[in-house]
Amino acid sequence: MSPSDVSTSRKRGLGMGLSALLGGDSELLASAGTKRPQSRHVPIEFLEPSPLQPRRRFAEDELEALTESIRARGVMQPLLVRPVADDRQRYEIVAGERRWRAAQRAGLHELPVVIHALADRDALEVALLENVQRQDLSPLEEADGYRRLIEEFGHTQAELAGALGKSRSHIANLLRLLALPPPVRSMLEAGDLSAGHARALLVARDPAALARIVLARGLNVRQTEKLVQADKTPSRRRAAAQKDIDTRALERELSERLGLNVTLKAAGNGGTLTIAYRSLDQLDGVLARLR
């Protein structure tokens, strides 16, 4: 298969997504090198979660709501599973772990599944795609899913945007959240901060400190943006005030001696000295003094 064929099949698989796998799309299966899937009902105890599952949390209220739905109507969509290598009776859940958890609570004894012999790489990609298409992911879970699809599978932001029906700016903005310090990420993960709050805090000098102020005051996103901007401004004023105290007198003395405007700017333990001249004669005069 040529590089262009590989790219085409990868994009086709990404675009078709989970529905194509569940539907047994022959072209997709051929490109992935997998056999036609099998549909059956499997005892619930023969199913197990996948160690590749990118989803880190299952909200209790959502699980309970799904449990009640399953009690009333059963499992409407089959789980996507793959055989466990060392046990022909057991299957690893590629997509549908939440349904499996809720079905156990509902007391079901077996579940409808679609069995695919997927390699680890294919199983992880499908699990990531299934997760980022959901509406109930936290912003960080969604961002981490995009990151892994980009870093581990070579997808671009533009490909993901087109395949998942998202805007490219949506994906880019979520990826930026991964740069937040751990305390702020924890607040975002817990739902104490929104993604809008977190994006405003990204440019703060101390995002964690300001995040605590945001929570204490109950600030909205616009107020958070103003807080971040106000936190930047005093630092410039303090720097200017410090220069007035420490260097203005020396600037005046040098300016008087040279007859030119002299500016000093500190940088760590050093800094720069700038002499402004308005003509070549003035420059010659400075050079003569230095020589």
The CATH number that applies at residue 138 is 3.90.1530.10
Q: How far apart are CA 231 and CA 106, in angstroms?
A: 52
Q: Are 95 and 80 in contact (CB under 8 A)?
A: yes
Which portions of the chain are predicted below pLDDT 70?
1-37, 54-56, 134-136, 233-246
Order the strands of the 87-95 sheet from edge to edge.
38-43, 110-115, 79-84, 87-95, 47-49
Q: Are 104 and 44 in contact (CB under 8 A)?
A: yes
Per-residue model confidence as pLDDT tens digits over 138-169: 888 888 888 888 888 888 888 888 877 889 99
* Of 133, 158, 173, the domain-final residue: 173
Same structural domain, 11 and 151: yes
Same structural domain, 235 and 210: yes
Same structural domain, 132 and 26: yes
Same structural domain, 65 and 94: yes
Same structural domain, 83 and 186: no
Same structural domain, 208 and 255: no
Beta-bridge partners for 81: 93, 115
- Encode 258-272: b = buried (16+ Cβ within 10 Å), e = exposed: bebebeeeeeeeeee
Residue 258 has a pLDDT of 78
Beta-bridge partners for 164: none
pTM of the prediction? 0.58
Q: Is 253 known to be catalytic?
A: no
Of the residues 45, 48, 92, 97, which is catalytic?
97
Burial (Cβ within 10 Å: 0-12, 13-18, ≥19) of residue 276: exposed
Residue 214 has a pLDDT of 93
Same structural domain, 120 and 149: yes
Give the CATH number of the domain where residue 235 resides. 1.10.10.2830
Q: Which two tokens stand for residue 128?
A: 């990531």
Residue 7 has a pLDDT of 40
Q: Which two tokens stand for residue 147?
A: 């990151």
CA dist 142 → 202, 221, 284 (Å): 18, 20, 63
Domain total in the chain: 3
Beta-bridge partners for 262: 275
Residue 38 has a pLDDT of 80
Residue 192 has a pLDDT of 92
Residue 238 has a pLDDT of 54
Q: Is the dihedral of CA 138, 140, 146, 152 positive or negative?
A: negative
Residue 28 has a pLDDT of 38
Q: How far apart are CA 160 and CA 146, in angstroms?
A: 8
Range of the domain at 86: 3-173
Residue 178 has a pLDDT of 92
Same structural domain, 7 and 137: yes
Residue 281 has a pLDDT of 78
